[in-house]
A and B are shown apart, each in its own frame.
Chain A
Amino acid sequence: MIEDDLRAAFARHETLTPSTGPVRAAIERTVVRRRRHRFRLRLRLGGTALALVVAALVGVPAFTPDRTVTVPLLTGSAPPTPTGALNVLLVGADGPADRPYRFADSVLLVHVPADRSRLYLVSLPRDLEVSIPGHGRDKLNAALSFGAGQPRPDLARGYALTRRVVSDTIGVRIDAGAVLTYPVVRKLADAVGGVPVCLPAEIRSAHTRRVFPAGCQQLDGAASVDLLRQRQGMPDGSLDRDRNAQRYAAGLLRRVDERGVLTDPVLLSKLLTQVGTGLVTETGETSLPALLSVATKGTGAAPVAMVLPVEYVEKPNYRFRLDPALGPGFLTALREDRLGEWTAAHPDRVTGLG
Chain B
Amino acid sequence: MTYEEFADSRLGALLRYAVMLTGDPHQAQDLVQDTMVRVQLNWRRVARTDSPERYVRRMLTNQYVDWRRGSWARRVLLRGEPDVGVPAPTDHAQSAVDRDQLWSWLSRLPRRQRATLVLRYYEDLPDAEIAEILGCAVGTVRSSISRALATLRAEYVEAC
Contact = CB atoms under 8 A, between A and B. Distances in A.
Interface string A1-29: 01101111111111111101011101100
A266 interface: no
Contacts of A24: 7, 11
Interface in A35-62: 35, 38
A34 interface: yes
Interface string B140-156: 00000000010011001
A74 to B, nearest CB: 47
Contacts of B33: 23, 26-27, 30
Contacts of B48: 150
Contact of B87 (A2, A10, A15): A15
A9 B105 CA distance: 11
A98 to B, nearest CB: 15
Contacts of B152: 2, 6
B56 interface: no
A31 interface: yes
B156 A2 contact: yes
Of B118, B122, B149, most buried by chain A (CB within 10 Å of CB) is B122
- Contact residues on A (Cβ < 8 Å of other chain), bracket: 20 to 34
A27 B122 contact: no
A294 B11 CA distance: 59
A16 B153 CA distance: 25
A327 B142 CA distance: 66
A9 B28 contact: no
A10 B20 contact: yes
Nearest to A10: B122
B25 A17 contact: yes
A35 B122 CA distance: 35
Interface string A133-163: 0000000000000000011000000000000
B19 A14 contact: yes
Nearest to B17: A17
Consensus secondary structure, chain A interface: helix
Given A3-B121, A18-B25, A20-B11, A13 B37 contact: no
A49 B48 CA distance: 28
A12 B117 CA distance: 15
Nearest to B34: A30
Interface in B1-54: 7, 11-12, 15-16, 19-20, 23-26, 28-29, 32-33, 36-37, 40-41, 45, 48
Contact of A9 (B15, B24, B99): B99
B139 interface: no
Contacts of B7: 24, 27
B137 to A, nearest CB: 22
Contact of B15 (A5, A15, A18, A34): A18
A31 to B, nearest CB: 5
Given A9-B99, A12-B99, A15-B87, A35 B41 contact: yes
A5 B19 CA distance: 17
Given A2-B156, A9-B102, A27 B36 contact: yes
Contacts of A151: 45
B32 A23 contact: yes
Interface string B91-111: 000000001001100100000
B84 interface: no
A27 B40 contact: yes
B159 interface: no
A17 B19 contact: yes
Given A17-B15, A27-B40, A9 B149 contact: no
A22 B152 CA distance: 35
The 6 closest A-B pairs by CB, nearest first: A10-B122, A6-B121, A20-B11, A30-B37, A16-B25, A27-B36
